[in-house]
Amino acid sequence: MNIQAFGRRACNCTALISVWVIAFICTLGSTLANAQAVNYPTHAIRLVVPFTPGGSSDILSRAIGQKLSEAWGQPVVIENVPGAAGAIGAEKVARANADGYTLLMGHIGTLAVNPSLYPNLPYDPVKNFTPVALVARVPNVLVVHPSVAARNVKELVALAKAKPGRLNYGSGGNGSAANLATEYFKLQTGTSMVHIPYRGTAPAVADLLAGQIQVVFSGAPAVLAQVKAGQLRALAISSPTRLEALPDLPTVAESGYKDFEADQWYGVVAPAGTPPEIVSKLNAQINLALASPELKNRLNSEGAIATPDTAAAFGKLIAREIVRWRPVIQSGRVKAD
């Protein structure tokens, strides 16, 4: 055998060995990943809430965390990381290991609104996260002070058009869910109302009760008691379907504005690259928890609606909502506080 032939054979053998080694490594990696998914979780899961304790994100996280812990026998630790409209907590999760042990309770603000509200957002909701499960929707209720001469949406629109800029609406601050819901309402109805931002929903509702402002588009829990007591007049609800707690209240869509929807929504996401087997396992268990009568009733008492769905559907919702809220923010000249 000449030297050149021997060299070629040696090269071929080396190449073949390399292929075998690569194939072995890939197989081993796949086997380890599958084993990791089958055994998941083997220790505590951290669920980051990017807001202070006591809010809807925190309440939902603790309810879901308790159910996961009961099912899997592993603690789910709720970690509140507030600041920058949820951006600090979201960035922390985006940079965490993609192993299923660090999750984020995202919501419409952190995942769909912030990209248009903050030019230098330290995370990308689509690129930096893997959708896991949609958890709940919280409908917004359109309420007015009893002195307002409108008993339904059409009458409010007519009043606002007859007196452009004369009606004031309140919200929990610039860029808040109430601010965006009302700006979306203005955009869809062609009306003009003046925004009065407050430092939270409670003071906005207090001034509405006092007649200092005329309109608020708020999450149902903040105004439900006052509506039932007759202190505020509810005109419509932002969700596609009616609210169980106010069954006679029509939706905005039923009131003449087809496809109007401006609910707040919440869902769990993981760092990008989290193994699909783990995402699937999390999604299945969260959906199972949301289907339980106990959790459904607990969410209903908080004014929330359980919304189990696939991870893929949740991802499509996030992408769709980013696009939907961008023109609302731009047309309303919404700025972050």
Tens place of pLDDT per residue across the chain (337 aa): 565 665 566 556 565 566 565 655 655 554 555 556 789 999 999 999 998 887 778 888 999 999 999 999 999 999 999 888 789 999 999 999 999 999 999 999 899 999 998 888 999 999 999 999 999 998 999 999 999 999 999 999 999 999 999 999 998 888 888 888 999 999 999 999 999 988 778 889 999 999 999 999 988 878 888 999 999 999 999 998 888 888 999 999 999 999 899 988 999 999 999 999 999 999 999 999 999 998 988 888 777 889 999 999 999 999 999 999 998 888 877 777 6
- Preceding peptide of 41 cis, ω within 30°: yes
CB 63 within 8 A of CB 79: no
CB 136 within 8 A of CB 305: yes
Instruction: Please choose, from the candidates 275, 224, 248, the residue with its C-alpha nearest in 3D space to the C-alpha of residue 41.
Output: 275
Pair 61, 78: CB distance under 8 Å: yes
C-alpha triplet 313, 239, 84: angle, nearest 5°: 70
Instruction: Give the whole-angstrom CA distance, residue 72 versus residue 45.
Output: 11
CB atoms inside a 10 Å sphere around CB 146: 11
The Cα–Cα gap between 313 and 52 comes to: 28
What predicted TM-score, i.e. pTM, was given to this entire model? 0.77
Domains of the chain: 43-137+264-331 (3.40.190.150), 140-237 (3.40.190.10)
Cβ-in-10-Å burial (0-12, 13-18, 19+) of 32 comes to exposed
Residues 98 and 273 sit within 8 Å (Cβ to Cβ): yes
How far is 48 from 132, CA to CA, in rounded Å? Answer: 14
